Amino acid sequence: MGKRAGLLLAGAFIFFYLLNYLMPLAFGDDYIYAFIWQGKPMFLPLKEGAVKISSLQDLIASQISFYFTWSGRVVNNTLSQLFIWVGKDVFNVFNAFASVILVLEIYWCANKGKITFSFDIFRLAWLFLLFWVFTPGFPSVVLWLVGACHYLWTAVLLTGFLIPYIRKYYCLEKQVVDNCWFSLIMLVSGVLAGCTNENSVCWIVLLLLAFIASNRKNPSFEGWMYTGVFGLVLGYAILMLSPGNIVRLQATHDAGWFNVGKVLENMHIFSAVLVIQFLLWYFCIRSLPKIFKNLYACTIRCELKKELVLIKAFCTTAMGMTFVMMFSPEFYLRSAFPGTVQLIIVIGIILRIESEYGIVLLRNNAKQFLTCVGIISFVVSAGFTLDHLYKHHVYNEKILLQVEALKKEGNIANVILVVESFPKASKVSEFLSGYHTFDNNFSDDADSWTNVSFARYYGIKGIRVLGASGKTKETENSN
């Protein structure tokens, strides 16, 4: 590994770690996941008898309850509850590492599946920048503990799982891994990756089945390719056949999976995602005609044709993963992250094609301009994001000090803690942060599920933000 690449990776890890360190436990979900799952809808307050996870036995019991009463995402839910159990400090380190690993996996996918630490520093830096700038709902995908376990870690598992298949795609006539143990590794990896996300896994399964079907007569196909896909399908079946999925749908969406009104509402989210991804799609669409123009050069025709097929495949899965969410009962910006990862892989492939085949997609002056814009954009957005997170960190620490003061006074049984609301970021700050700010406030109703989960986690009577009542004191008697 070159010195510059090493510095870039170390700097990226430190940056992501700092973001994770400043991000508090959030959104109510983090606190709920600290307890053995009670077999009820998430958006109902935790019962008083809620038991915190304190052992491996508790963790297993909670996952069984999860699977049968709420969600089949076995891997994501296990990671979420494991990290909350062992502590946020541990999560901060592992999650920063996962963020770096995902960008490396994207690089390796774009690099013909070759796992190498001899990096093109320009491409690697741009992939980090694209990950930072174009991730929809960045805080809820990368920093929020439960959100990261459901989206970032899912992307790490699925993208890593794809690397051997991409390597084989570029080396159809060669043996990639001649090892029976690798077949077992791919089987287990497939099961784990398959139990992660209902939408993205489906598209990866279709992509790999199409690859195998189109080359089924190839004598160089290896056993791990079949065991890997089998494991992925098996894991996906475990996910989709979870009784908890049906219970969750009935508890949160009585209208069922397809509702015209909901589709129209989701179209606004879909439009917002396309706006966020616009420059990525523009670069892809702008580059393809120039690549096609070089397709008929006899020396590189076969190689470029193979590249174009893979580009079209990933563009299809990227759009499919996002478009299908319009028909989902829940479509948040973070739900577009899996498709964004596929799109960034495409950009990585195009950047490699430019350097490998000598095709000029961007003039040098354009590259210099975009590099300057990228650096300025990163510095400004990172600065405003860190400022927002630091303020939220200070706000959260102040509340925890108030909780500790309540406990020392012995008032936890009869007093509800009243706190000031965290001020929402201004429109200008949101824009300059790259829309990396987030809203993580308590309700003014002490009985709301988010407030109750916080209170149960820290063992106090209750908490609420200063509301319409106009009370200004820090605590109020709940009797």
pLDDT in single tens digits along all 479 residues of the chain: 778 999 999 999 999 999 999 999 987 889 999 999 988 888 888 888 889 999 999 999 999 999 999 888 999 999 999 999 999 999 999 999 999 999 999 999 999 999 999 999 999 999 999 999 999 999 999 999 999 999 999 999 999 999 999 999 998 878 777 778 899 999 999 999 999 998 899 999 999 999 998 887 777 788 899 999 999 999 999 999 998 887 777 766 654 555 677 777 888 888 888 888 998 999 999 888 888 877 766 566 778 888 999 999 999 999 999 998 888 777 888 999 999 999 999 999 999 998 888 888 888 888 888 889 889 999 999 999 999 999 999 999 999 999 998 888 877 777 889 999 998 888 999 999 999 998 888 889 999 999 999 999 998 889 999 864 444 445 555 44
**Which residues 6+ apart lie within 8 Å of 89 measured at CB?**
none
Distance in angstroms (rounded) separating the CA atoms of residues 323 and 271: 10
Cα 268 to Cα 102, 135, 180, 234, 265: the distances in Å are: 28, 17, 49, 34, 6
**DSSP tag of 70:** T
DSSP assignment of 80-105: HHHHHHH-HHHHHHHHHHHHHHHHHH
* 239 neighbors 200 (Cβ within 8 angstroms): no
Token pair recorded at residue 209: 């089945």
Is 203 exposed, middle or buried (CB count within 10 Å of its CB: 0-12, 13-18, 19+)? buried
The overall pTM is greater than 0.85: yes
